[in-house]
Amino acid sequence: MKVRCLKCETVYNVPDSKIPEKGAYVRCIKCNSRFFLKKKSQTKIDPQEKQEDTQKDCQRICKNCERKIGRLETPHVHNSYIICSECYQKLKTSVGKEKISANSRENHKTKSQKDTGAKSVSGFRSYGLMNSFFSLFSKDLAIDLGTANTLVYMKRKGIVLDEPSVIALYTDNRMERRILAVGKDAKKMLGKTPANIKAIRPMRDGVIADFEAAGAMLKHFIRKARDGATFFRPRVIIAIPFGITPVEKRAVRQAAQQAGAREVFLIEEPMAAAIGANLAVTEPRCNMVVDIGGGTTEVAVISLAGIVSSKSLRVAGDKMDDAIIRYLKKKYNFIIGEKTAEKIKQTIGNAYPEAKISEVMEVKGWDLLLGKPRIFSVDSEEIREAIFDQINAILETIKLVLDRTPQELASDVVKSGIVLTGGVALLKNLDKFLSEETGLPITIADNPLSTVAIGSGKALDSIELLDKVIIS
């Protein structure tokens, strides 16, 4: 006779001779469930008649769980024997789940076969139909989260935001902080705020120094760049220094996610600078980039979409400003602020002596000897002397990276030279100084201030390039 399992509905062909007259409990080989089995002559009962007899006899027992079926409980017939309502519902649920699970496995198998050609980024992202749909409507962003300035590149639009990385926070009587200004408005407040207002730079040396302030600043910039909220959250790629720690990487990623990013990718600043400078980073030849920003100097040799040799130096524009402040204080007992030092560096700062008369600039500050504010004149030769240590440190880093570069690639540098990017690349005669000391041709990128942001945006526009250059 044919017997069907209660749970998995597997059909077995059992000879009548092996079934006792009184029946016996059997166990399914497939699902390991236990049920009662009787001979066909004894169990061949009409289901409707069996239900009526069971309702009359309240002492009938469920053959599955051996529980007495109550007077008010409706019995059910399965495989020609009586089971209680509870076992019947469990049977329906388990069978339904197995069918759903089987269908899900089949659908997953079919979907995986269809998506075998889909590209993935670092093993955690698949470019399927849904991601393609989101990409059509979301305003994806590339962000150069710099120590001095933050630039935002929007897909298919270019640079849409360029503001200082400064945020002003107001502290109320309950000691709760709220945002007062961000960007250009906050930079105007540097050094001019009362005790309950602080204008700070949440980025220091290329990494996040104040996580809460950096997240709020990044959220403001993303909203401003996207021109209000939209339904689809953007993908965001952020340029980070080469030598930062995993903890610092995680802080940048979490800040972007809290700011509303759908997906966050990280790209190293020298790689983004090389892409933004239109260098052939995917070809087997040397591309040497020196990116000098506000907090870090990134020196890297790039070949085949990877960094062959690199070094990150936390000496850049901010250290030069501090050096100018210390120089004037030590030599002339004259104190100036950070903004004044930055203005001096941009106006008359130079890295290589010139034969012509040096430039002079008048600045306002505090005279420690007189104990009052006054106007003081500084010339370019003094500023060059003040920032000499920082420029020399950058030069030594370039020589160190060249020394670590394989000979085949180092020979290419003689032909292709070094590309300068970053804000400090605009320092007067810096290219002449580096060329004189290294003996290599030095080229300044077309847009040194926005090269990293443009390169990050180009990587975001190209899926194949993004897959090669992003870091985990």
β-pair type (418-421, 287-292): parallel
**Lowest mean pLDDT segment, chosen from 47-51, 253-257, 292-296, 344-348:** 47-51
* Residue 294 annotated in ligand binding: yes
Cβ atoms of 75 and 55 within 8 Å: the answer is yes
Query: Is 0.95 surpassed by the pTM of this model?
Result: no
Q: Which range in 25-34, 156-165, 324-333 is most confidently predicted, on average pLDDT? A: 324-333
- Rounded CA separation 85/152 (Å): 64
Strand partners, 442: 418
What pLDDT, on a 0 to 100 scale, did the predictor assign at position 117?
Answer: 39
Residue 17 contacts by C-beta under 8 Å, 6 or more apart in sequence?
none
Overall average pLDDT of the 179-208 stretch: 90
Structure tokens at 275: 């892409």
Task: Identify which of 147, 267, 294, 265 has the alpha carbon closest to the alpha carbon of residue 214.
Answer: 147
Sign of CA dihedral 280, 281, 282, 283: positive
Confidence of residue 80 (pLDDT cuts 50, 70, 90): low
- Looking at per-residue confidence, does 308 or 81 come out higher? 308
CA distances to 131, 136, 206, 214, 452 from 238, in Å: 19, 20, 12, 13, 10
* Residue 344 annotated in ligand binding: yes
- Rounded CA separation 244/256 (Å): 17
What pLDDT, on a 0 to 100 scale, did the predictor assign at position 348?
Answer: 93
For 421-450, the pLDDT digits (tens) are 999 999 999 999 999 999 999 999 999 999
* Residue 342 annotated in ligand binding: yes
**Lowest mean pLDDT segment, chosen from 13-22, 91-100, 166-175, 312-321:** 91-100
Cβ atoms of 276 and 181 within 8 Å: the answer is no
Confidence of residue 149 (pLDDT cuts 50, 70, 90): very high
* Residue 39 annotated in ligand binding: no
* Residue 343 annotated in ligand binding: yes
Strand partners, 197: 170
CA distances to 9, 96, 138, 407 from 102, in Å: 14, 10, 36, 59
What's the distance, Cα to Cα, between the start and end of the chain in Å? 62
Look at residue 42 and tell me whether its pLDDT is greater than 60: no
* Residue 179 annotated in ligand binding: no
What is the pLDDT of the chain when averaged over all its residues? 81
Overall average pLDDT of the 348-361 stretch: 85
* Residue 296 annotated in ligand binding: yes
- The CATH class, in words, for 143-165+201-277 is alpha beta
Domain with CATH 3.30.420.40 in the chain: 143-165+201-277, 280-445
* Residue 338 annotated in ligand binding: no
| Architecture of the domain delimited by 280-445 | 2-Layer Sandwich (3.30)
What pLDDT, on a 0 to 100 scale, did the predictor assign at position 113?
Answer: 45
